[in-house]
Amino acid sequence: MLRFKFISVKFFCYLCLFLVITTNAEANLLLNGDFNTPRSGLSAPNYATSLIGYGANGDSSAQDWNYNSRSNASTELLSTTDPAGTGYMIHVTQDGPSVGIYQKLSVSGYVSASVDIYINFGEVYFALYGSDCCNPLTSMTLNAVGQWQKLNLPSVDVTGMPLTFVVYDNTGANFTTGGDFFVDNAVLTKISEPSTIWLFFSGVLASFCRFKKLASVVQP
């Protein structure tokens, strides 16, 4: 007579976790998210750039990334000190708030975003913006200085709207102060819709329950 081995609940949980991770694994949708490609036309070793003037916009030191300014702003590429990074990190300095580096792109569906930040001084604002430039789809701030930290934004549906990935200085209403920070490992990935994940789990759980029922009926 056939013999069936029982699958433990622990093994089942590990299997589900593995399947969900591999199912949702997507390539980084951001261009040059590791900041390892310098802007063409700039001079080594740091590929430095600067902006002067309220509302100025320009190309940052990293290819595919832009930045803006309220008064004076600068970017440069330096060898990364991020334990999770390789190659370069981008150094951003600002004289005022709500300015920094950003990248515009077109994406559909649910996305998640993360970035590594090191603050010398000031506060950093990390956000995803859609059609409304005044209200972010999702955002968070960081003011811990002197250490690398990874910021993770909650997943959000960006279907049918332009998307802007933003890492800004966030020193509030005091325009006389600014920020000085480093950025590395910017990541934007597509993920499965929550309803899709729930259906997946339900299907796997139903199959698991049927198998256990069959295994309990068949005896050696």
Please answer whether residues 181 and 118 qualify as being in contact, where contact means their C-beta atoms are separated by less than 8 angstroms: yes
Instruction: Tell me the sheet residues that pair with 98.
Output: none
Residue 204 domain flag: no
Question: For the domain that residue 35 is a member of, what is the CATH number?
Answer: 2.60.120.260
Residue 73 domain flag: yes
Looking at residue 194, its pLDDT comes to: 54
Residue 158 domain flag: yes
Sheet architecture: strand order including 72-79: 49-52, 72-79, 88-94, 179-191, 110-121, 148-157
- Cα 183 from chain centroid? 11
Residue 213 domain flag: no
Looking at residue 1, its pLDDT comes to: 44
Per-residue pLDDT of the chain (220 residues; tens, 9 = 90+): 444 444 455 544 444 444 444 444 569 999 999 999 999 999 999 999 999 988 899 999 999 999 998 888 999 999 999 999 999 999 999 887 778 999 999 999 999 999 999 999 989 999 999 988 889 999 999 999 999 999 999 999 999 899 999 999 887 544 456 789 999 999 999 997 554 444 444 554 555 545 455 445 445 5
| pTM metric for this prediction | 0.77
Looking at residue 220, its pLDDT comes to: 52
Looking at residue 193, its pLDDT comes to: 59
The SS3 of residue 216 is helix
Distance of alpha carbon 81 from alpha carbon 84, whole angstroms: 9
CB half-sphere exposure, 138, CA atoms < 13 A: 16
Please answer whether residues 82 and 150 qualify as being in contact, where contact means their C-beta atoms are separated by less than 8 angstroms: no
Enclosing domain of residue 92: 27-193
Residue 182 domain flag: yes
Name residue, tokens 């490609």: 37
Residue 102 domain flag: yes
Count of structural domains, the chain: 1
Looking at residue 3, its pLDDT comes to: 44
Residue 47 domain flag: yes
Beta strands (DSSP E) in 32-161 are 49-52, 56-59, 66-69, 72-79, 88-94, 100-106, 110-121, 124-129, 138-142, 148-157
Residue 2 domain flag: no
Residue type, 191: I
